[in-house]
Structure formats: C-alpha cells, structure tokens
Amino acid sequence: MSFIELTDVHQAYGHKRVLNDIDLRIREGEFTTIVGPTGCGKSTMLRLILGSEQPVRGSVTIEGTPVTGIHRDRGIVFQQYGLFPNLTVLENIMFGPVHERHSFVGGIIGRAIIKLRRGAECWLGKRVGNLLPKGPLYAIEEQALEYLNRIGLSEADAGKYPFELSGGMRQRVAIASAAIMKPKVFLMDEPFGALDAVTRQKMQQFILELHQKYQMTIFFVTHELREALFLGTRVIALSQYYKTDNGGEPGTQGSKIISDFPLQRTSTLDEKYSPELNAIEKQLMEDLDGSKKKYIGDFHLTHPDSFRTVDAAEWRRTS
Amino acid sequence: MAHFVQLLTSFTCNVATYLSRIFGMDGKTTRTWKLVLSWLPIILLAGWYTTTAYHRTEENPDEKLTPTPTKVYEAFQRYALEPDKAGDYRLWKDVRASGERFLWALPWLFLAALVGLHMGLYQWVEDLSLRSLTVVDKIPPILLLALIFVVLGTGDIAKVAIIVITVFPTIALDTQLITKSFPKELRIKAKTLGASNAEITYLVVFKNIFPRVLHVFRSSLKAIFLALLAAEAVVSAVGIGYRTFYVQRFSAVDVILVYVITATLALVTIDLSIRWYVRLRYKWLDK
Ligand SMILES: Nc1ncnc2c1ncn2[C@@H]1O[C@H](COP(=O)(O)OP(=O)(O)O)[C@@H](O)[C@H]1O
Ligand SMILES: [Mg+2]
C-alpha cells in the first residue's frame, strides 16, 4: 500500500471545477514536485493533502487513514506569510513544540521567562542571564537554537523579528519552524517564488539536504520547471488544458494530472542540466503548452506508481 | 544693462525651479518649510483672534464674546488655581469626573474588540451579532440619550452606557474587518504546529491585530467624547461637558475657552500616547 493515496479526487468551488478526477499514489520519502499553469489547482491539491479543506468527491488517505483535518504530522510552508510577524525568530521556531507540549498558560509563562532572560543577557551580559531561571521551555529553546544553527543563522539573529530578515532567511526560518515538528509530510507552496536566483539556488540545496537527512515525504509546488526537475524524485504536471471525448472546456472541466515522470535525484548543480533532465523538461514544456491540448489518452504518465481511473464519457476511443 | 537683465532672468529661473521643487506636484518640502507651513495657520488664526479681541475690548470693556488671552488666563486662574466657595478646584474636579467616566468605559470597549475578534473567526458569532451591531451602529446616540436617562437614571452609569453604546458597534465591526484581513495562511500554519483554537484566537490572531485595534480606538476618541460631553451637558453636576454648558448661560466665553483648550489637550495627549506606545511596543507592525 502506498503512503499517500488520492483516489478520484474532485474539487470545486461553487460552479467552478478545479480538480477533475485526480488519482495519485505516493511512496514514503518521495519528493514530488508539482508544476502547472497559474490557477490550475496546485495549491488546492496541497490544501487537500494538508486537510485544511475536503474534496467534494473522492478520498485522500495517508497510511490508510482518511485526511479529515489539519494535523501536526503535516507541515506547510507558503510563499508568503510563513512567519508570525509578532514573534522573534526564536519564538517562531519554538512555536510548534511549545504549543504541542505546553498548555495555554504554561506557554505564555515560559515565553515570558525566556524573553526576560534573553533581555537581561542582552543588556546586562551573559553572566546575569545565567543567574535567571531557565523556565519550562528550556529544552525547546535549546532545540530551536540547534535548528537556527542548522539553517545558517547565528544566535544573534534569534531575537530579530521577521521584518528584519531578508526574504531567503525568512523562508529558512519558516522551513525550520515546520521542520522542528518532524512532520511525516512536508508541503511547500512556491516557497522560493519571491527569491532572487542566487538565494533560490542556495535554498534548493538546503531543502535537498533536509530531504536527504530526514527522508520525509515532500510535495513541492513551483512554476519553475528547472527547479521542479532538480529537486524532485518525481514530477507531476497539473493542467486544465486537455481534450476529452465529452468536449469539456478548459476553465469548466477542472485539472487533471497530464504528466507524471520519475526523476533521477541530482545532487550536484552540474547534473541540473543533464541530458535526461533536458529531455523531460522539453516534454513537460510541450505537455503544458495550452495551445496544443493533449488528448486524455495521450498523457505522459510514465512513473511506475502512476495510475488512473477514467470516466467512460471522457475516454470513449480505444486505440 | 543687458548684463543686468540676464542676471535677473537667471535669478527668476532659479527661484522658479526652487519653488516648483517645493510647491509643484510631488514636490518635497524641506525641514524649514515644513515647520513654517505647519505653524502658519495656527499663528495666523491666533494673531487674527488676539487683535480682534483686543480691538473689541478696547471699544467695549464688558465685551464677553471675544475675551482677550489675558482674560482667558484669568478665567483659568479662577477655575484651576483657586478654590471656589465649596473649596473645589473646579477645572480639575471636572476633568477628573469626565476622565473617570471615560476610564469606566474602557473595559467595555476592550470587550467590543473581543467580540469583533470572535466575529471575524467564528461564523456563528458573526451570525449572532453582525445584524444587530450594524443596526445599533446607526442609532444616533444623542437621541438615545433621553432613553438611557429614563432607563438607567441620570447617574454615571448612564453616561458610561452612552459612551459604550456609541462606540461598541464601531469598534466591534472594525475589529471584525481587521481580524478577517489577518492572513488565513498563518492560522493554518499555527494549526499544523499543534496550536489549539483558543491559542490561535488569542495568542496568534488577537496579539497580531491588537495594535491595529488600538488605532481603531484612537479614531473613535472623538465619538467617545462627543457622547460623554453631550450626556454631561444634558444632565450632570460635574464634568467638562456640564461646566461648559453651565457657563454658556452667562456667555462666559473665557471659561468656555479654558475648557475647550483643556479638553483638546487631553484628547491630543491620549491620542499621541497611544501612537507612541504602538510605535515603541509593536515595532514589527506594518512591516
Ligand atoms: N476558496 C476558493 N473559493 C473559490 N475559488 C477558489 C478558491 N480557492 C481557489 N479557487 C480557484 O481555484 C482555482 C485554482 O486555485 P489554486 O489552487 O490556488 O491554483 P494554483 O495554485 O495552481 O495557481 C483558481 O481558479 C482559483 O480562483
Ligand atoms: Mg498557488
């Protein structure tokens, strides 16, 4: 049995159909990148896996259990709004463990103690700080500092607020604050979309290291094909531009998975431009070209785990 | 001669460029200009008033409608620095009475913010209160005054009630809008990180919107004092509104001006304090 299964998933908002009959099986540890035109439902698909909304038809299961709501085992990083603006970097990273392990009041008191101690350290020196009580959140604080180091920030950054960080640092902290929960499934919705090319490349390497270390199952939405190919172990393309036998129109028919390729994991930047990846990129470009709509029978679903059930009305021809 | 004309033209040109850089559209004023321009209306007004007042007083020493600054200061002395027959310093007694009523209203206005918070996050609270609040928000508070005095008597409770009824709906509705504009992504993120509904409501959303709520409160200050002073003017034995309307019967403009200035300064102080507090305490706001 697969780790994550989407079966006959349909999603619609009012009369607007967004996802049309999505079938997907994902193995544990897979790094799935999702590409597709704007508005094709990539974020919607992530929300369904996250559990923040439910499909109108079909089912989403993880390890055989239906997804009915948000769960601490599934973490998410958005392109924007990744951090709580009123909390410092350290508090942002600590947020998850504190709220999971401590009560409402316990969390407030623990945070206040840390704030007091760190304030004293800042103004009066480390020795005075050491005299103050560690508080109930000390273990979490240590753990958060470890993550802070791992994402390449120093302890001096711990007390900064998100607005004082660069875009890349902010996304690092957002990733750390989700990663500290050690989620089984890690969802990322265009996390590097707002970053410049160089920062973006660094973040890509960072996320690869993270995946190699923890082997979590990752879904990564991006509109950069290169990024999708470089990061993923599997790439899927969603699109509303395809042809079926019941003559649905794009925009009313909802998106399907039109391509599904396995990817060789590339770990060095040179392999980012390997001939295999170039070939897949060319194919994806063609598949995603909205002016050359693919017939439902001609989708490129070459990944060994790929499967689908088709609607008889949509695919009558058998060739 | 030609040389002189050339000099004059170039001078005019330079002045024109300079002026357009400041007074043209999207122009930037310098520090000095800022200072001059911002004080100009105040100084003009004060100057115009003072000269008129002295002129009129010269013609008629019993002139009451335009007291000179000296007369206003004398009124201030009588009301603030000397006790009356009962031994009270009237100005401070009035400020204190109005201030206390204002303070009593604050917890209720905090409650209004909480109601707005829940309206923004919980559909059922919105269903329960949106319609009623929108209607109550439109009641002219002055008309309610009569009703409240009948129902709650004419004491301090009625005056606090009139403040609360006037601005409770505004604050609640504005807070609801602010709450709704708080990014849903952050609420979702908090939930994936194991935060409970209560923690998300009070520790994530409320803490983030609170400085904005303070700004809403700041902009309702005028409505709050309008309601309070009107209520005091109608029935009261003490308070800024009461005294101002009481001395109005004797056309004591000097005393009225003392109270107008005092009340204005009080409001400016409250307003600025909140602004400074927000700027210092919430440096992450709007970044
Ligand atoms: N809550 C919603 N209500 C109505 N329409 C929505 C909602 N969420 C998404 N949509 C619509 O669904 C489509 C897919 O959205 P989305 O998943 O965000 O696309 P993508 O992330 O691929 O750009 C869009 O056309 C969007 O307008
Ligand atoms: Mg999206």
8 Å CB contact of B193 and A82: no
B106 and B228 both lie in a single domain: yes
Distance A38 CA to ligand 2 centre (A): 7
Q: In Å, how far is B278's CA from the nearest CA of chain A?
A: 13
Closest ligand 1 atom to residue A46 Cα is 17
Is there a domain that residue B229 lies in? yes
Instruction: Indicate if ligand 1 lies below 6 Å from the C-beta of A268.
Output: no
pLDDT for residue A271? 67
Q: Report whether A153 contacts A145 (CB < 8 A).
A: no
Residues B93 and B206 in one domain: yes
Q: Does residue B67 lie in a domain region?
A: no
Strands ordered across the beta sheet of A65-66: A16-26, A4-13, A57-62, A65-66
Considering the domain architecture, whether residues B139 and B40 belong to the same structural domain is answered as no
CA dihedral sign of residues B224, B226, B230, B232: positive
Q: What is the DSSP letter of A134?
A: -
Q: Give the number of the atom of ligand 1 that is nearest the alpha carbon of residue A238.
A: 22
Contact A42 CB / ligand 1 (< 6 Å):
yes
Give B279's contacts (C-beta < 8 A, 6+ positions apart).
Answer: none
Q: Specify whether B152 is located in the same domain as B230.
A: yes
Q: Are strands A234-239 and A31-35 parallel, antiparallel or unpaired?
A: parallel
Give contacts of A183 with chain B, Cβ < 8 Å: 192
Whole-complex ipTM: 0.89
User: Same domain for B266 and B208?
Assistant: yes
How many other CB atoms sit within 10 Å of the CB of residue B25? 5
What pLDDT does residue A299 have? 84
Over chain B (287 residues), what is each successive 10-residue block's mean pLDDT?
A: 85 87 87 94 94 91 86 92 90 94 96 97 96 93 87 89 94 97 95 94 96 96 94 90 91 92 95 96 87
Cβ–Cβ contact B282 with A under 8 A: yes
pLDDT for res A12? 92
Q: How many separate domains does chain B show?
A: 2
pLDDT at B13: 86
d(CA A71, CA A241): 33
Residues of A in contact with B283 (CB under 8 A): 161
In this structure, the answer to whether residues B233 and B178 fall within a common structural domain is: yes
Chain B residues whose beta carbon lies within 8 Å of the beta carbon of residue A107 = 199, 203
What is the C-alpha separation between B79 and B258, in angstroms, rounded?
A: 9
The verdict on a CB contact (< 8 Å) between B208 and A85 is: yes
DSSP calls for B111-171: HHHHHHHHHHH-HHHHHHHHHHHHHHHTS-HHHHHHHHHHHH-SSHHHHHHHHHHHHHHHH
From A104, which residue of chain B is nearest by alpha-carbon distance? B199
Taking the CA of residue A42 as reference, the ligand 1 atom at the shortest distance is: 22
Residue B19 lies in a domain: no
**For residues A54 and A48, what is the distance between their CA atoms, to the nearest angstrom?**
6
Residue from the list A95, A161, A178 with its beta carbon closest to the beta carbon of B284: A161
Q: How far is CA B71 from CA A86, B76, B242, in A?
A: 52, 9, 21
B164 CA: distance to closest CA in chain A (Å): 30
Chain B contacts in chain A segment 105-144 (CB below 8 A) = 107-108
Q: Kindly state whether residue B51 falls inside one of the protein's structural domains.
A: yes
Residues with Cβ–ion distance below 5 A, ligand 2: A 43
Q: Is residue B200 part of a domain?
A: yes
Residues of chain A with pLDDT under 70: 1, 248-251, 266-271, 317-319
Size of interface A-B (CB pairs under 8 A): 74
B181 in A contact zone (CB under 8 Å): no
B193 touching chain A per CB within 8 A: yes
CATH of the domain at B198: 1.10.3720.10
Q: Is B85 exposed, middle or buried (0-12, 13-18, 19+ CB in 10 A)?
A: exposed
Domain that holds residue B48: 29-60
Q: Indicate the angle between helix axes B253-281 and B90-121, nearest 10 degrees.
A: 40
Angle at the Cα of B197 from the Cα atoms of B195 and B202, rounded to 5 degrees = 90
Amino acid at A250: P
Residue bearing the CA closest to ligand 1, atom 9 = A44
Nearest CA to ligand 1 atom 4: A13
Cβ of A52 within 8 Å of Cβ of B188? The answer is yes
For residue A37, give both structure tokens: 């035109």
CA A169 – CA A273 distance, rounded (Å): 27
The answer to whether residues B175 and B114 belong to one domain is yes
pLDDT at B78: 92
Q: Which residue of B has its CA nearest to A186?
A: B192
pLDDT at A120 (0 to 100): 87
Please report, for residues A125, B49, B188, the alpha-carbon distance to residue B44 in angstroms, rounded to integers and kept in the order given. 55, 8, 56
Q: Is A129 helix (H, G, I), strand (E, B) or coil?
A: helix
Q: Does B55 touch chain A (CB under 8 A)?
A: no
Residues B221, B271, single domain; the answer is yes
Ligand in closest contact with the CA of A44: 1
Ligand nearest to the CA of A41: 1
Is residue B42 domain-resident? yes
Task: Tell me the three state secondary structure of residue B253.
Answer: helix
Point out the ligand nearest to the CA of residue A36: 1
Burial per residue of B153-162, b for 16 or more beta-carbon CB atoms within 10 angstroms, e otherwise: eeebebbbbb
* Residue B15 forms part of a structural domain: no
In whole angstroms, give the CA distance from residue A265 to residue B149. 78
Ligand 1 centre distance from Cα of residue A250 (Å)? 14
- Is the distance from CB of B189 to CB of A47 less than 8 angstroms? no
Inform me whether the C-beta atom of residue A76 falls under 8 Å from chain B C-beta atoms. yes
> What is the identity of the amino acid at A207?
I
B183 part of contact set with chain A, CB < 8 Å: yes
Task: Let me know if residue B237 belongs to a domain.
Answer: yes
B208 contacts in chain A (CB < 8 Å): 84-86
> What's the B200 CA to ligand 2 centre distance in angstroms?
24
pLDDT of residue A248: 66
CA dihedral B109→B115→B116→B120, nearest 10 degrees, is: 170
Q: How far is the CA of A289 from the centre of ligand 2 (A)?
A: 19
Q: Whose CA is nearest to atom 20 of ligand 1?
A: A39
Site to probe by mutation for ligand 1, drawn from A11, A16, A46, A50 as the one with most ligand atoms within 8 Å of Cβ, is: A16
A137 lines ligand 1 (CB under 6 A): no
Is there a single domain that holds both residue B34 and residue B147?
no
Dihedral angle of Cα B51, B52, B53, B55, to the nearest 10 degrees? 80
Residues B91 and B50 in one domain: no
Residues B90 and B46 in one domain: no
Same-domain check for residues B121 and B240: yes
In the numeric block, the tokens 């392990």 are attached to: A101
Which ligand 1 atom is nearest residue A44's CA?
A: 17
Q: Which ligand gives the minimal distance to the CA of A52? A: 1
